[in-house]
Structure formats: C-alpha cells, structure tokens
Amino acid sequence: MGYYINVEPDVKIYVEDLNPAGKKTILFLHGWPASHKLFEYQFNYLPMMGYRCIGIDTRGFGDSDKPWRGYDYDRLADDVRCVIDTLKLHDIVLGGHSTGGAIAIRYMARHKGHGVAKLALFAAAAPSLVQRPYFPYGVPKEGIEEMIQETYNNRPEMLRRFGQRFFHKFITESFEEWFFQLGLQAAGWATAAIARTWLGEEGLFTDLGKIFVPTLILHGIHDQVCPFALAEAQHRGIRNSKLIPFRDSGHGLFYDEKDRFNQELIKFIEE
C-alpha cells in the first residue's frame, strides 16, 4: 500500500506501507541517493515473517515531492515525525541506512525518540561523514565536494561511479542498472543538497548521547562510503548499543549479506 503524506503545506512525501496488520512495525529510512526501494530484499521477507514494514522516500528522492529547500537534518527529521504522527505509530523500530541513519539519529535527539522503542543503524553516516580536525575517521571533504560538482555537471556518471563502490560482493550488470535507476529518480538539486548537508557544521556528535533506547549498529567492514570507524564511534557514543560487524559486506550490507542482515534485525526486534 502506497500513499502520500503532507509534511508541509506544499510538500508531500511518499510512504510504502507493507502488512499494516503486522505484529511489530519497522520504519525504514533509506540512504543517499536512492529511495525506499533500496530495502527491497527486506520488504520481500520481513512481511512474510509477520512484520509491518514502512518505507519513506526522503523529500527530493524516489516518489516524493522534490522541493528546492528542506534538506538539513532538522527538516528531514521533522518529516519523519509527520509520518509517525499521521500514521499514529508507537513502539516502533526505527531503522536508517547511511544518510537515513543520520536522519534517524537526529530524529531521536530532536524529537526525544517519540514513538520509537528501538533504533537500528545500518552503515550510518554519523556522527560525521567527513573528516574534521577533531574527528579523523570520516572521508576527506574534498571527495564530497567533487561529488557535488559531478552532480551538477554529469550526475549519471557520478551515480555510476558511486554504485561501483557501494557493494562489496559481485553484482550483475542488471542489478547495477537497477541501483543506478534508483539514483536517477532523485532530483539533481536534492542529491547535491544532501551532500552539502554532510559538509555542514551540524554533525551528530551531541545527538548520540541523547539516545536512550536499545540500539543495533550493523556495519560492513569493507564499507568504502561510510568507513567502519564511524560505527565504532556510534557505539562509543550511544548508551545501550550493540555493534555487529559484517565481515563480508561493504556499504550495501542489506544486500551483500542479506540473509544475515534480515536475521540480525529480526533477532533485535524480538529481544
């Protein structure tokens, strides 16, 4: 079941709601530059196991509206709050991949975990994707600046190269094309705006200490997009967190080791 939810008077975001009668609810926030369809191999399986799965397309991406503004973490976290309130969700598991993980962290801090019983982070781009004088574990900001310029000059080529770094295991040409098309569905300005958010000074360092719910951190040790050191920093900063390394995965661990990913997520939900 898919529908649109107004998060501002002139902005609607797309929500996919699978198995609304499920015993427990997982709300998924996708990573850059894709859509909720990134979790296809979770949505194929988890509803069969009795879970309700809700996927949000971040504004600017997938089937959501693509406004010119609103791509900072605060606004994106507020969009999540609109969905949770509109659907009257409570005691959910909030799961976020990459930038979706960063949005989930900001949501937990900004909205005090409203409606969320557990948090799951998958290769999250937090507490800072880029290196800073006080945080050397991210990626050089020059690489992000280059991606922004490529987005403005030749976005398809940027997406092709990004896709080649996303997965650790071999993927077929047809699968690579599927992933590429997810990125093309986004607006170019939204793709660049999210990347500029990574460069901003609003890192998520203080947000980590405001998370009090049980938190699962899943992260591939071969991740070329969000280095594994970010997961270790999350683990240090979030009380009551558990870090599980995926030793045969890159950034796309939900596909690289999808069976293990699904099982670890179910185990966490049922704990």
One of 79, 207, 223, 256 is an active-site residue; which one? Answer: 223
Residues ≥6 apart with Cβ < 8 Å to 225:
98, 123, 125, 139, 162, 165, 166, 250, 251
One of 30, 57, 251, 256 is an active-site residue; which one? Answer: 251
**Would residue 98 show up in a list of annotated catalytic residues for this protein?**
yes
**Would residue 97 show up in a list of annotated catalytic residues for this protein?**
no
Instruction: Give the span between the Cα atoms of 21 and 18, in whole angstroms.
Output: 9
Residues ≥6 apart with Cβ < 8 Å to 270:
none
**Would residue 128 show up in a list of annotated catalytic residues for this protein?**
no
> Quick one: which of 65, 47, 67, 226 has its CA closest to 143?
226
One of 36, 64, 79, 98 is an active-site residue; which one? Answer: 98
Q: Which residue in the block uniquely carries the two structure tokens 């098309």?
A: 181
Three-class SS string for 106-128? HHHHHCCCCCEEEEEEECCCCCC
Instruction: Give the span between the Cα atoms of 12 and 5, in whole angstroms.
Output: 5
Active-site residue set: 98, 223, 251
